[in-house]
Structure 1
Amino acid sequence: MTFAPDITERLARARADLRMGVPVVLEGGAVVLAAETLDAARLADLRSLRGDAVLAVTAWRAQTLKAAAYDGDLARIVLPADATLAWVRAIADPADDLRSPMKGPLKVMREGPAELHRAAIALTKAARLLPAALVLLVDDAAIFASTHNLTLVPANAAMDTELSPLNPIISARLPLEVSEKSRLHIFRPDDGAEEHYAIEIGKPDRTKPVLSRLHSACFTGDLLGSLKCDCGPQLRGALAQMGEEGAGVLLYLNQEGRGIGLANKMRAYSLQDQGFDTVEANHRLGFEDDERDFRIGAEILRRMGFASVRLLTNNPAKVDRMNACGITVTERVPLKVGENAHNHAYLATKAAKSGHLL
């Protein structure tokens, strides 16, 4: 019988559980709760168990908290005996850091392995939550998961960085303002994550470099016309240029906020209102500068039959990543549109700290 979920499906369950505040269990012996969705009842239940729970945060978040990241990329902050739900959330979320900067003194673990804690943070990131997790080591993970009807996943699977296979689902003709000869292709990953799209303008020659753009979804810029970024003008400018040339492929990748999700992107915006730039805001939340996976774009191009591109981008990292993934970039085509008084500082930060060629 093959009704039971495989490891990919169990990981999808684990992500969904964490988003709803349900604990998950890691093989190797740890129960994990996402700090963002934790409630008071489950915090009390966790504290009733034997052992010392820790709040695992990334090194970036630890730096803001002035906590030593003895494990290199993360810190294991010991949960104080009197820790409340408000304390856990204050450690995980930097929203009130400036109003209440003193969170400690914080006791940080430095002994023992941190692989399970690393896997816990990876799961919260994959769930598009704040990268912070309560972790309690347990003796028999399988029995604990079975007793409490919790999803059990291997820690190494949670840390797996292999790209999930992308499957073409459907494509259909979609007349656009820039070109009536357009098609929309839908691609769905096996791991249950977000679908991604390819807008094909005209009938590009598969034997020649295609004019292409990797465009990360931006709800605020693409749909609402936000002036805080240049995404909307870049989307429309890229499509217009493809329409003028009569052929092109725009990959619309659901990696909002450089891969941290819309809720975390709004948290970053709130931090920017406090005076932090876009990179500093990401770091205070516990994220890297850019959490996107450009391998997705390369795989879609490959599935569509393209081996080389003329890439519409100001980001050299995209060029390097495409080349590394086997898609040859024969030309970087600049796309300098959309600067205004509201996003001038944002674009300057992208140029200074992220290497964008503006």
Structure 2
Amino acid sequence: MSLSPNPLERLNRARADLRMGLPVALTRGDQGALVVSAEAITADRLAALRMLGTPVVALTAHRAQTLKARAYDGDLARISLPADAGVAWIEALADPADDLTHPMKGPLISRRDGDAALHRAAIVLAKSAHLLPAAVVVTVPDAAKFAQENGLTALTTDETEAPETRLNPVVAARLPMRLAGMGRLHVFRPQDGGVEHYAIEVCRPMRDQPVLTRLHSACFTGDVMGSLKCDCGPQLHAALNSMHDAGSGVLLYLNQEGRGIGLANKMRAYSLQDQGFDTVEANHRLGFEDDERDFRLGAELLRRLGFPQVKLLTNNPKKVAMLERGGITVLERVPLQAGQTDENADYLATKAAKSGHIL
């Protein structure tokens, strides 16, 4: 038995390193590079990287489009870092907070030579660490050896793409709930060391009958703080009430805040919405897709709990499709109308027009 970390364990270590501003080595065949999060890099580390080679900033095509930079690689752009550019310049490339008040002074020069696979992997890794999808990348010879000599985490590009991870049950206990009565809360922990997800059985749902189910993504602002900018909290409460009225149900509570981009990036998106952008436009200006969530997690939770058939409380047809691709039979989509306010009218309209929600 080996005591060395396996690829999934090293992936989780690499995420933590990026969040602290520590370089991670990426390799692909005989190619290699050191990558650092654009939002976490320090002046000292930038200077050290420059001693190894010529850094570039890898950005998603969405972010490059906002900056009017050419994305020659299709899904991303590799922006040359000027010799006099410092940490503030890199942060301004990655973070759109001041785009309107301090427009970028171009021209931004995009690289078009060579392979972008290492840069693409760097962005994938930054996203999985809930950082802005931007990274400083410096190619180095024998990156794996460099990582070993300097105590850095090394991954291959294939290892940055986490496979569908197994969710292991940790504990379950009875839970009396104000809105749903007696239930049972299950905690599941993913094998890749990521955040835990929860399943709440309301009353005693039968395994041989389709169960009323809500696939709910964590929303700290809506579920906890009662935000009026979204309908998440009211939908959560309405789902629990519906399960109580039906006599049973299953609530799957997935820790995928902000459509999978994390709370910090969600608040960045909120700040952009205050500037007049809708929720999809805000995500794109940050460099993210419309929705970064993985609903395969919900299908696995249902399989682990023994519920092969559901009646799904949702207005989002993509949730239905994702569960069915995960082997769960969705016998009925049950509309969930709750939480419409004057404050979230534009948000709901955007969900209907751009994300396909049926309201």
Instruction: Please confirm whether the aligned pair reaches a TM-score higher than 0.5, indicating the same fold.
Output: yes
Structure 1 runs of 4+ off > 2 angstroms?
178-181
| Separation in 1, partners of 2:55, 2:104 | 21
For the 8 Å contact 1:35–1:92, the answer to whether it is kept is yes
Percent same amino acid at aligned positions? 66
For the 8 Å contact 1:178–1:244, the answer to whether it is kept is no
1:103, distance to aligned residue in structure 2 (A):
3.5
Give the letter aligned to residue 14 of structure 2.
Answer: A
Matched, 1:46 2:49: yes
1:257, distance to aligned residue in structure 2 (A):
0.2
Determine the structure 2 residue equivalent to 1:89: 91
Alignment of structure 1 residues 308-323 onto 2, 5 Å: 308-323=309-324
Other structure's SS at 2:177 match: coil
Determine the structure 2 residue equivalent to 1:304: 305
For the 8 Å contact 1:91–1:103, the answer to whether it is kept is no
| Separation in 2, partners of 1:67, 1:92 | 13
| Separation in 1, partners of 2:105, 2:173 | 54
For the 8 Å contact 1:179–1:246, the answer to whether it is kept is no
| Separation in 2, partners of 1:179, 1:297 | 20
Determine the structure 2 residue equivalent to 1:204: 205
| Separation in 2, partners of 1:62, 1:285 | 10
Which one of the candidate residues 119, 131, 134 is aligned to 1:132?
134
1:177, distance to aligned residue in structure 2 (A):
1.4
Determine the structure 1 residue equivalent to 2:226: 225
1:100, distance to aligned residue in structure 2 (A):
1.5
Alignment of structure 1 residues 83-162 onto 2, 5 Å: 83-160=85-162, 162=163
Other structure's SS at 1:175 match: strand
| Separation in 1, partners of 2:168, 2:144 | 33
Determine the structure 2 residue equivalent to 1:216: 217
Instruction: Indicate the larger mover: 110-119 or 282-291.
Output: 110-119
Give the letter aligned to residue 310 of structure 2.
Answer: V
| Separation in 1, partners of 2:300, 2:4 | 29
- Cα root mean square deviation, aligned: 0.9
Count of matched residue pairs: 356
| Separation in 2, partners of 1:61, 1:27 | 25
> Structure 1: where are the runs of 5+ without partners?
none
Instruction: Indicate the larger mover: 178-187 or 51-60.
Output: 178-187
Give the letter aligned to residue 14 of structure 1.
Answer: A
Determine the structure 2 residue equivalent to 1:4: 4
Other structure's SS at 2:59 match: strand
For the 8 Å contact 2:39–2:131, the answer to whether it is kept is yes
| Separation in 1, partners of 2:21, 2:267 | 21
For the 8 Å contact 2:69–2:77, the answer to whether it is kept is yes
Determine the structure 1 residue equivalent to 2:79: 77
Determine the structure 1 residue equivalent to 2:238: 237
Matched, 1:192 2:160: no
For the 8 Å contact 1:23–1:31, the answer to whether it is kept is yes
Determine the structure 1 residue equivalent to 2:348: 347
For the 8 Å contact 2:181–2:244, the answer to whether it is kept is no
| Separation in 1, partners of 2:323, 2:181 | 29
